[in-house]
A and B are shown apart, each in its own frame.
Chain A
Amino acid sequence: MAAVPFLPKNAPFTAEDIDVLNQLVQRSTPLQRSWLSGFLAGLDAAQAQGLAQPVPAARPRLPLTLLYGSESGNAEGLALKAKKVAAKQNFDARVVDMGDTDVAALKTAKNLVVYISTWGEGDPPQRAADFYKALMADDAPRLDGLRYAVLALGDTAYVNFCQTGRLIDARLEALGATRAADRIDLDLDYAKHAAAWTERTLEKLAPAETSATVVHVDFKTAGTSDDADEPQFTAENPLEAGINALINLNGTGSTRETWHVELAVGDTGFGYKPGDAIGIYPENDPELAAKLAGAVGLGGDALVKKLTQAHDITTLSRATVDAYAKLTGRKDVAKLLEEGELARFAADRQLVDLFEAFPEKLETEQLLKLLRPLPGRLYSVASSLKAHPGEAHLLVGAVRWTSHGKPRKGVTSTYLADRCKIGSTVKTYFKPNKHFGLPADASRPIIMIGAGTGVAPYRGFIEERAETGASGKSWLFFGERNFTYDFLYQLEWQDHLASGALSRIDVAFSRDQPEKIYVQTRLWERRAELLRWLDEGAYVYVCGDEKGMAKDVDATLAKILAEPAKGDQEAGRAKLKELTKAGRYQRDVY
């Protein structure tokens, strides 16, 4: 520590103070010292007029681009958090959505940190798709001189874990940029690891010489909480919500099982808006937990309880298989990790199948180490706080299927359907969605397209518009299997139609007649009218199952938009892109 000189004895402080200061200065980092000097420099001025005039930094602050590609807002949230940290480390940081920029902008960026998630089957988030394509294209610009790092978000439950992040990381290097810090791939429990990685990465990006410069301190924000604008109940800090109502909306005779759940979320009600989502932390089926433990020669109430409440015991991920192979040293398990093998084996299998197929005796600790924390599941809010103060309603489709001779159950949906009762409490957290919500302009027409549980947010939309007396027209396209048994919220839609809160409805029930009718069938039938609504500035929303519906709806919309251009599909696609950029084509698909 010789590098740091001591305060001389003749410094204008008492001996005690000089000791304290010396101790402090000695253990301080260059950055802390720069900050301190800036702080002291501004202090008197601040006291003089109540508020400090920022003192110019002795050196220009470093440019930093925090670039994110995000679907449900996780990566975006991390980028915004990083901005606050960067500000303290003398960065002049801009947070940029891949959806609003192009690759060329990176040429001048100098310092870049990428926060990117993976969707679909290894695809980039939809708003990031164009940027991603351009970056991967042969004509992408060289990026020599750019220093960067990538944080990848993903879910080990998917085969292509963090694929988009991995590919972007490699591509930036290929284009001549310099990796300033190693990429990190994060699972659903990303939050705790992300903050530390960002700190470390920014340290690496901040070149040594800035260490002695004076850091300007903004007294307006100094000391105010970083998270003031953050939702109060997060995945890390869930809210115990009581269940006020729990109804299977499908009538006797249905082949479906869709639960309307009313949660008591307190006066604040997360302050959600229609379009946001709420997360539920489930509990596993105790029977399955016992079965899983048994499969590796373990048992006992304590362990089963732990497995039920805290661990993901269903997902069969590469990570788990890899760990199990190493732990057991089994060649046959290791074989599963070879090219294509896992995809084949894991297809509609679960962890218990792995244990049963390759049985080994494990210690409790070994088992627990194999398991990731039990992740929550998101559900679109199906209500408006204005219509139901203190409540958030969800619409949950029970997931049940049979594979490899075993009946299987979706963890969260059947936790709610089978084991929760009215009066039970569930762990919930808030998941705002900036990119799915009513137009600010209440006079804009809205076209809402959804099948099955995809109708959930629209119940919130229409309730909200009814409560606020919004003047805009609204048109709902709803699809399910059978009219008689599966018309979710039928009576409410009828009331909204009668009151005018909902202007129009079209329905598509696939199993009521010999030929299949889906929402996209109806969209196409109504194309002329739809185009008219779009000319009037309508917003288009699509919510629900990606594979089952959203893909086809997207294609049909493009086809419809191609009509005015004499069926030119490219033009249709382009128009749909425009709408997306303008925020008039919003999707919430899962």
Chain B
Amino acid sequence: MTDKRAKNEFLKEESRYLRGTIAEGLSHVETGAIAEDDTQLLKFHGSYMQDDRDIRAERSKKKLEKAFSFMIRLRLPGGVVSPEQWIKLDDIAGTYANGTLRITTRATFQYHGIIKSNLRRSMQAINAACLDTIAACGDVNRNVICAANPHLSPVHKQANDLARAVSDHLLPKTSAYHEIWLEGEKVVESGGEAKDDVEPLYGKHYLPRKFKTVVAVPPLNDVDIFAHDLGYIAIVEKGKLAGWNVTVGGGMGMTHGETDTFPRTADILGFCTPEQAVTVAEKVMLVQRDWGNRELRKNARLKYTIERYGIDKFRDEVESRLGYKLGPHRPFKFTSLGDPLGWRQGPDKKWHLGLWIENGRVKDVPGHHLRTALREIAKAGGVEFILTGNQGLVIANASAKQKAKVDSVLAEQGVAIETTSGLRRNSMACVALPTCGLALAESERFLPELITALEETLESAGLRDDDIVIRMTGCPNGCARPYLAEIGLVGRAPGLYNLYLGAAFDGTRLNKLYAQDVGKARILELVEPLIRRYAKERSEGEHFGDFVIRIGAVRPTTAGNTFHANITLV
């Protein structure tokens, strides 16, 4: 068996609890890179080695190695950031990163463009903001996200607390992170591993693959609950939190041309009480730890484990480890995926601003100084920042006075609260080029202009304000959850995308391939007539994703394993 295990399994095993030779690698000043194997381990510490793909071509001619730099992803369970923290994080962006903060599709921050010699400094600066990056990436339970604004109701607060509780409970225990990044220069002599290093939950091998957990409070499915390995849906009865419906086995990633890889919407495992929630998370993760495929990483996510064993067998195993049965899941209703935008008042009369941020990129561009604006708002203090799973931001808990201040700062810095269209409001694009090593096509740098092009049609069709979900990724990994978008675009090659249609507006149904390898012009050619027809023929309250199915443009995808079935390309 052992020799058939995936390479990464050996890496983890021999890594001395995620140390590898990362520390030595940092001390090699002639290169901006670290050893190939260490890049795999570095993910567990919340960082990825990347290189600037825009300038790859010229580098060797200039006798320079690739323009290596590092991406750092924060662990931010619940996504709440204090003004003081915001300022510190913004400083890091300016001092060590590329001058931007990137709010991700999983409600945390990423930095890009940090060079090796600044990596340790950056980690220490993050630590100084009382935050860390442990397990933000890697084969572990990742950052637990919950976009619920804790100020809106006790239940929202409980949801947010659960996110933090699960994240902390499933956090790796290795001291490697502290040793490498915070203690500084000290390099552990090879072979030596700190005595107290044991991973009671994970063991030497950690998980077969990444593991993602989310928490949602209906009617908002603002975390795309069905796209994750593990999810909690708040069940509210008589205004109180009765417990959680538990979902398992969701995921997006697939590989072009490999039909045994596919996006999958999660199954509902059952119901648990608030007290049980954390233990349930542990047991679900442990079953995946033991049952997940360790030979084939492409097949290692929980979604494939459940496909292989079936949801019932999986439930039995979880329950036997729990020592009790989960309840039957309770009714719930989601209405949408997006964030509520604009100002709204909470029960305590405090104000909360839902702010749409294009692709989550917090930066200053001429005439639109978003980064400066948010920094000033943080400096003014009082408010709280909550990151959302839609790459968005909530400026929460503002008094009337603070609200006025926020409005004036945003106005001064040219940041509009309204978006130019319902389509843009419901759009997400992954990072892709130039930093993402896996990108096959542009995404973050292309979607905005594509939407601008579509907006003319929307305008003329009178749909400018209608909510239509459009998402784009630069490759099939699905980082912006494109398979759950009414209009999904997935990169295949530079300038070419697969076009998917027909996902449900509330995130319960995947979309279906409609056209392959289409460029900008062709995308417009294909989508515009559908939009016009939708404007004329839609029935009351019918969403675009449902409409295209009704008119037979695509067949509905009822389950992940039929995602590649019943395809008729235009």
Contact = CB atoms under 8 A, between A and B. Distances in A.
B401 interface: no
B31 A494 contact: yes
A491 B29 contact: no
Contacts of B95: 513-514
Interface size for chain A: under 10, 10 to 19, 20 to 34, or 35 or more residues? Answer: 20 to 34
A494 B65 contact: yes
A589 to B, nearest CB: 24
Contact of B30 (A247, A505, A509, A514): A505
Interface in B33-74: 55, 58-65, 67-69
Nearest to A258: B62
Interface of B: 29-32, 55, 58-65, 67-69, 95-96, 115, 117-118, 121
Given A252-B55, A252-B58, A484-B69, 7 more contacts: A249-B64, A251-B55, A253-B55, A260-B63, A490-B63, A491-B63, A513-B118
B164 to A, nearest CB: 33
B29 A490 contact: no
A512 interface: yes
A483 interface: yes
A497 B64 CA distance: 15
Interface in A471-494: 483-485, 487-494
A485 B63 CA distance: 11
Nearest to B96: A513
A114 B509 CA distance: 94
Given A484-B115, A487-B64, A513 B121 contact: yes
B259 to A, nearest CB: 41
Nearest to A253: B55
A493 B30 contact: yes
A252 B67 CA distance: 10
20 contacts: A247-B63, A249-B62, A251-B55, A251-B58, A251-B59, A251-B64, A260-B63, A484-B32, A484-B115, A488-B63, A489-B63, A490-B64, A491-B63, A491-B65, A494-B31, A494-B65, A505-B29, A507-B30, A509-B117, A513-B117
A492 B64 CA distance: 9
Given A252-B55, A484-B69, A491 B60 contact: yes
Interface of A: 247-253, 260, 483-485, 487-494, 497, 505-507, 509, 512-514
Contact of A512 (B30, B67, B118): B118
- Between A250, A487, A488, A506, the greatest number of chain B beta carbons within 10 A of the residue's beta carbon is seen for A487
Nearest to A496: B30
- Between B32, B58, B64, the greatest number of chain A beta carbons within 10 A of the residue's beta carbon is seen for B64
B63 A249 contact: yes
A529 to B, nearest CB: 14
A248 B62 contact: yes
Contacts of B115: 483-484, 512
Given A251-B67, A252-B55, A506-B29, A483 B62 contact: no
A162 B62 CA distance: 41
Give me the 6 closest cross-chain CB pairs, A-B, nearest first.
A491-B63, A252-B55, A507-B29, A490-B64, A249-B62, A505-B30
Contacts of B62: 247-251
- Between A248, A260, A484, A512, the greatest number of chain B beta carbons within 10 A of the residue's beta carbon is seen for A484
Contacts of A247: 61-63
B192 to A, nearest CB: 24
B64 A491 contact: yes
Contacts of B30: 490, 493-494, 497, 505, 507
Contacts of A494: 30-31, 65
A490 B64 CA distance: 5
Nearest to A252: B55
Contacts of A509: 117
Contacts of B60: 491
A25 B317 CA distance: 125
A244 to B, nearest CB: 15
Contacts of B65: 490-491, 494
B119 to A, nearest CB: 12
A420 to B, nearest CB: 18
A513 B68 CA distance: 16
A428 B65 CA distance: 32
Nearest to A497: B30
Contacts of A253: 55, 67
Nearest to B116: A483
Contact of B32 (A483, A497, A506): A483
Contacts of A484: 32, 67-69, 115
Nearest to A505: B30
Contacts of B96: 513
Contacts of A483: 32, 115, 117
A571 to B, nearest CB: 31
A221 B55 CA distance: 62
Contacts of B121: 513
Contacts of B118: 512-513
A514 B115 CA distance: 13
A227 B512 CA distance: 86
Contacts of A252: 55, 58
B117 A492 contact: no
Contacts of A492: 63
Contacts of B117: 483, 509, 512-513
A513 B116 CA distance: 11
A31 B171 CA distance: 99
- Between B58, B59, B62, B65, the greatest number of chain A beta carbons within 10 A of the residue's beta carbon is seen for B62
Contacts of B31: 494
Nearest to A507: B29
A248 B55 CA distance: 14
- Between A251, A253, A489, the greatest number of chain B beta carbons within 10 A of the residue's beta carbon is seen for A251
Nearest to A482: B115
- Between B30, B31, B55, the greatest number of chain A beta carbons within 10 A of the residue's beta carbon is seen for B30
B117 to A, nearest CB: 6
A506 B29 CA distance: 7
Nearest to B95: A514
Contacts of B68: 484
